[in-house]
Amino acid sequence: MRHIHKYYPKNVNTFKKQLLAWSQAFDEIVWLDSNSFKSAYSNFDAVLAVGALTSISTDYHQAFQNLKEYQTNTKDWIFGYLSYDLKNDVEALVSNNFDGLEFPELVFFQPKKLFFIKEGMVELHYLTMVAHEMETDLSSIQSCVLEAYKTQDKIKVKLRINKDEYHSKVEKLLEHIHRGDVYEANFCQEFYAEEVAINPLQIYNNLNQISNPPFATFLKFYDKYLLSASPERYLKKTGNSLLSQPIKGTSRRSEDPIEDNQLKAHLKADEKERSENIMIVDLVRNDLSRTAMKGSVTVEELCEVYTFQQVHQMISTITSKISNDVHPVDVIKTTFPMGSMTGAPKVSAMTIIEQLEETKRGLYSGAVGYFSPAGDFDFNVVIRSILYNKTKQYVSYSVGGAITAKSEPAKEYEECLVKAKAMREVLEN
């Protein structure tokens, strides 16, 4: 049972910063922030989940079945992540590439303390055993001093794949496409640094400030951190309704308003970018149809261009309806990993990119989110994100792009650098 208390802070933005700073004492943290991005599909502006009463942490073997049992038995809010490599639980696939981060492949926990923020109000949802701590916690949060950060040492970021290797690998992918093995594949590369100590909260705040995305995430599980400026929703369930919003198509921004509008218009009209997006829309429609009620899969938006602080993005919105007897975890299992991070056909694409990529994706290309007590859920796509293993002092970010028959390796490489810009800036100071 949860005890609920409503609180109205004088300044909600200051309270959010104090709340996240206060949370750092916990071993389990999930912070999800929409950065006031207005959407008809939002449940709240931000949420913080801290302190595990129960949890599940596992590799991919029977991961979805284990999650299904955990979610069913808990019947409470649970927060956590799904790594990309759960693909191996869904299909007969493997992940044998180098893994410098060593995150578990699935982690969820039942938080003792929850904070929901919406339209200037904060709702605390505390389990009975900690309900008496509400007042003390609020007082601690309000008195939390936001310290100025020390200037971080510049981190030298290395490439797992150099530019020439990238070109060569994209050429191999194009051979697969011309042979008909696959018609789109999302090919990713890792940037990393070893033997470095970072302040995860400082890095997250800096990344969030320059990106201001609608699906920002700060996640901590003991010594593992995710600092994410994701612009993309993977999948949301509200009652019997499902919503997916894949991103495919990226353009840089310009400080010149006229040029910026031209870049936006060019992206909307770009035949290659539109074809990439439409291919993934078809894949998502197919995925959703596996659990959908007949005739309920609908494309609400096709190739709409949205503007974020770092980039313009092409986004489509697909919805469907499911019957009451479909388990929420089965909906995720039948659509995972998200098509925007794999390609199409999905299994062929995942097989080929595993052979060409140098790094195990892990949480990158996975999803972070929550299940409600009623079985609703909302998950983002882990992109534009920095991952950090504090014990190993290993920091990493990856970027990728959709390769199609019309792709040019040099242009794809440039697009990767555009996507990597924010992460590189905050790490290299």
The pLDDT tens digits for 223-269 are 999 999 999 999 999 999 999 999 988 898 999 999 999 999 999 99
Residue 40 has pLDDT above 80, yes or no: no
Residue 410's H or E segment, with its range, is: helix 409-428
Residue 399: per-residue pLDDT: 96
Rounded CA separation 209/155 (Å): 19
d(C-alpha 379, C-alpha 302), whole Å? 21
Q: φ and ψ at 206, to 5 degrees?
A: -65, -45
Query: 118-144 burial, b for 16+ CB within 10 Å, e for fewer?
Result: eeeebebbbbeebbeebeebbeebeeb
Instruction: Enter the tokens of residue 279.
Output: 């291919």
**Mean pLDDT confidence for 82-104:** 97
| Architecture of the domain delimited by 2-146+155-428 | 4-Layer Sandwich (3.60)
Q: What phi and psi values does residue 15 have, to the nearest 5 degrees?
A: -60, -40
391 CB contacts (<8 Å, ≥6 apart)?
A: 223
**Res. 150: pLDDT tops 90:** no
Taking Cα atoms as reference points, which of 340, 379, 281, 401 lies closest to residue 80?
Answer: 379
Q: Judge whether 123 counts as a catalytic residue.
A: no
CA dist 43 → 189, 211, 318, 376 (Å): 33, 21, 18, 11
Given this model, what pLDDT does residue 72 score? 97
Select which of 87, 248, 321, 333 is catalytic: 248
* pLDDT tens by residue, 330-374: 999 999 999 999 999 999 999 999 999 999 999 999 999 999 999
Mark whether 414 is an active-site residue: no
The crossing angle, in degrees rounded to 10, of helices 12-23 and 134-142 is 110
Please, which residues have CB within 8 angstroms of residue 325's CB and are 6 or more apart in sequence?
none
337: preceding bond cis by omega (within 30 degrees): yes
- Residue bearing tokens 């999930």: 30
Of these residues, 184, 232, 357, 412, which one is catalytic?
232
Whether 429 shows a pLDDT value over 80: the answer reads: no
Please report which confidence band the pLDDT of residue 197 belongs to, taking 50, 70 and 90 as the band edges. very high
Percentage of the residues of the chain whose pLDDT score is greater than 90: 90
d(CA 348, CA 185): 9
Most confident of 40-44, 280-284, 356-360, 417-421: 356-360
Q: What is the pLDDT of residue 148?
A: 75
Q: Supply the pLDDT for residue 151.
A: 73
Residue that has been written with the tokens 């309920």 in this structure: 296
The full 3-state SS of 287-336, as one line of letters, equals: HHHCCECCCCCEEEEEEEEEECCCEEEEEEEEEEEECCCCCHHHHHHCCC
Region of residue 420 (phi > 0: left; psi between -120 and 50: alpha; otherwise: beta): alpha
| pLDDT tens-digit series, residues 308-336 | 888 899 999 999 999 999 999 999 999 99
Instruction: Reply yes or no: is the peptide bond before residue 345 cis, omega within 30 of 0.
Output: yes
Q: 82: helix, coil or strand? A: strand
If we measure between CA atoms, which residue out of 343, 113, 142 comes closest to residue 246? Answer: 343
Q: Please name the residue ranges forming H helices in 37-180.
A: 63-74, 87-90, 134-142, 163-179
Cβ(226)–Cβ(363) under 8 Å?
yes
* Residues 315 and 281: beta-carbon distance below 8 Å: no
